[in-house]
Structure 1
Amino acid sequence: MHSGSCLCGVVKYQIDAPIKSANHCHCGQCRKSHGAAFATYGNVRREHFRFTQGEESVSTFTSSPGVGRTFCQHCGSNLQWFAEQPYPKWVSVALGTLDTPLQNLEQKHIYTRSKADWYCLNDGLPVDDHN
């Protein structure tokens, strides 16, 4: 249904189900890991995500207890974010790595209390500050 890859093309993946929703995360860890005002992740069940090439080149950084962020060892592309608790059956995929179109997706901003002071949040999307 969807496919994606890292910047250098060594790592490729496939998602075999619709992406449920997208979060534009403004927390400090996401901003640092992406080098941007926020990181955008799409949420899918783990059983619907699989690497199709280069899985041996994927590393995981434990950013906090029970939370991992995967990336390509060659180019550094951020690929996934996951939390063992409370979401053990889900993985969040960095939507910027998709190679296929994605339309009509529920989106919201999260952790906006931590947003970059230079970023103006005015796109009209819902904000969930209860995270």
Structure 2
Amino acid sequence: MPTGSCLCGGIQFRIDAVLAPIQICHCSQCRKAQGGPFATNTPVSEASFQLLAGAELLSSFESSPGKQRFFCRRCGSPIYSSKASLPGVLRIRAGLIDEPLSVAIEAHFQTGSKAGWWPITDGLPQFEVNRPPAAEPSS
């Protein structure tokens, strides 16, 4: 099962499920939260996410109504986000996973607000505004 940690190693977790394909989000909030052109997320069921260490370091910020972004209060690493409109689903930041990932990128989302300085050249599906209906992640 995949494991992961923040930059300082204070927050450590395990995912007790097969990872879903990576979703790249280009919205302006993800760019600001990540400090880069996009966020790389893999959705997992909340029941599959096991926090192994660092519960006291986990902080959150409500970036828009019903959306919480969780991060390490020591090093600032973004850990995951959750949305009230998708109960039971966490979007784990793929860059935190320790093991080599065997899943591929699924698509680019929110490309209508992507950074003008970052071209998308990979030929993957692009969704300009909203995501298509998401399937529930496997557990």
- Per the normalisation by structure 1, the TM-score is 0.95
- Give the % identical residues: 41
Equivalence for 1:113: 112
- Structure 1 match to 2:87: 88
Q: Quick one: distance in 2 between partners of 1:80 and 1:65?
A: 16
Kept in 2: contact 1:8–1:75 (CA 8 A)? yes
Question: Deviations for 1:34-84, whole angstroms, at most 9, x for unmatched residues?
Answer: 000000000111100011001110001100111000000000000001101
Provide structure 2 residue ranges, at least 5 long, that are not aligned to the other structure: 131-139
Match of 1:102 in 2: 101
Whole-Å separation in 1 of the counterparts to 2:72 and 2:88:
22
Matching residue of 1:45:
45
Count of aligned pairs: 130
Indicate how the Cα distance of structure 1 residues 99 and 30 shifts in structure 2: closer, same or farther if over 3 A, else same.
same
Aligned to 2:27: 27
> Which deviates further from its counterpart, 120-129 or 55-64?
120-129
Once residues 103 and 87 of structure 2 are traced to their aligned partners in structure 1, the CA distance between those partners, rounded to angstroms, is 26
**C-alpha distance in structure 2 between counterparts of 1:116 and 1:3, whole Å:** 30
Q: Distance in 1 between matches of 2:60 and 2:128?
A: 27
The aligned counterpart of 2:133 is: none
The 3-state SS of whatever aligns with 1:101 is coil
Q: Which residue does 1:75 correspond to in 2? A: 75
In the alignment, is the contact (CA less than 8 A) between 2:20 and 2:103 conserved in 1?
Answer: no
Structure 1: stretches of 5+ with no match in the other structure:
none
Per the normalisation by structure 2, the TM-score is: 0.90
Amino acid at match of 1:33: A
Task: Compare 29-38 and 13-22 and name the one that shifted more.
Answer: 13-22
Distance 1:104 1:15 in 2: 14
